[in-house]
């Protein structure tokens, strides 16, 4: 039998310890995300995997907001974030810093997530786009790689917060194998 752990047994970092902890080499860029709950959920995922930073672009709302806070559960206080209206500016700045830009989208010649390789110290910015329109073609064109999550059902569509969880976990795992 497995005993469910109490919250006090989870060795959670407090906000100041999180801020000082070594971060993963993952950056998240949210572009034109409509749902405040999706934004909050991505903050929680970012907190879980020590993401360096989240960039909120376009119409993506910013903290503080009660609907973001409801799903973020405090992660807007721990995870570093910044609002930038123009995602292409963010992409350009990050590329100049040597960051690999990866659009998560269904596109011709996309690399399937299960075939995607990433170096253990490679800094990677994952772009997630609008719930209906996805990542814009201009941003896909500006990306170094387009990454697709393999799907096998009838919808071939995942909620953006689910996509972020799947991709961030996969990248984090690949970078931390054997550690």
- How much is the pLDDT for 122? 96
Domain carrying residue 127? 13-176
User: Is 8 contained in some domain?
Assistant: no
Look-up: residue for tokens 């910013």? 62
- How much is the pLDDT for 126? 98
| Residue 39 Cα to chain centre, angstroms | 10
User: Is 5 contained in some domain?
Assistant: no
Count of the separate structural domains present in the chain: 1
CATH number, domain of 121, equals 3.40.1280.10
Strand ranges in the chain using DSSP code E only, listed in sequence order: 26-31, 53-57, 81-84, 100-104, 111-112, 124-128, 145-148
CA atoms lying within 13 Å on the CB side of residue 35: 18
Whole-angstrom distance, CA of residue 142 vs CA of residue 138:
6
User: Is 113 contained in some domain?
Assistant: yes
User: Is 41 contained in some domain?
Assistant: yes
pLDDT along the chain (179 residues), means of 10: 92 91 96 98 97 98 95 95 98 98 97 96 97 97 98 93 98 88
- How much is the pLDDT for 177? 86
Is this model's pTM higher than 0.85 or not? yes
Whole-angstrom distance, CA of residue 172 vs CA of residue 150:
18
């Amino acid at each position: 039998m497995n005993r469910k752990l109490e919250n006090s047994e989870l060795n959670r970092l407090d906000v100041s310890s999180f801020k000082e902890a070594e971060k993963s080499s993952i950056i998240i860029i949210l572009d034109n995300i409509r749902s405040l709950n999706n934004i909050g959920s991505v903050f929680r995922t970012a907190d879980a995997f020590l993401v360096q930073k989240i960039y909120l672009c376009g119409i993506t709302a910013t903290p503080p907001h009660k609907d973001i806070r409801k799903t973020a559960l405090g992660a807007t206080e721990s995870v570093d974030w910044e609002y930038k209206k123009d995602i292409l500016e963010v992409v350009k700045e990050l590329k100049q810093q040597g960051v690999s830009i990866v659009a998560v989208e269904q596109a011709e010649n996309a690399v399937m997530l299960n075939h995607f390789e990433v170096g253990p110290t490679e800094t990677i910015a994952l772009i997630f786009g609008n719930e209906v329109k996805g990542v814009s073609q201009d941003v896909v064109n500006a990306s170094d790689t387009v990454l697709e999550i393999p799907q096998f059902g009838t919808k071939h569509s995942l909620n953006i917060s689910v996509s972020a969880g799947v991709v961030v976990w996969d990248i984090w795992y690949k970078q931390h194998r054997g550690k």
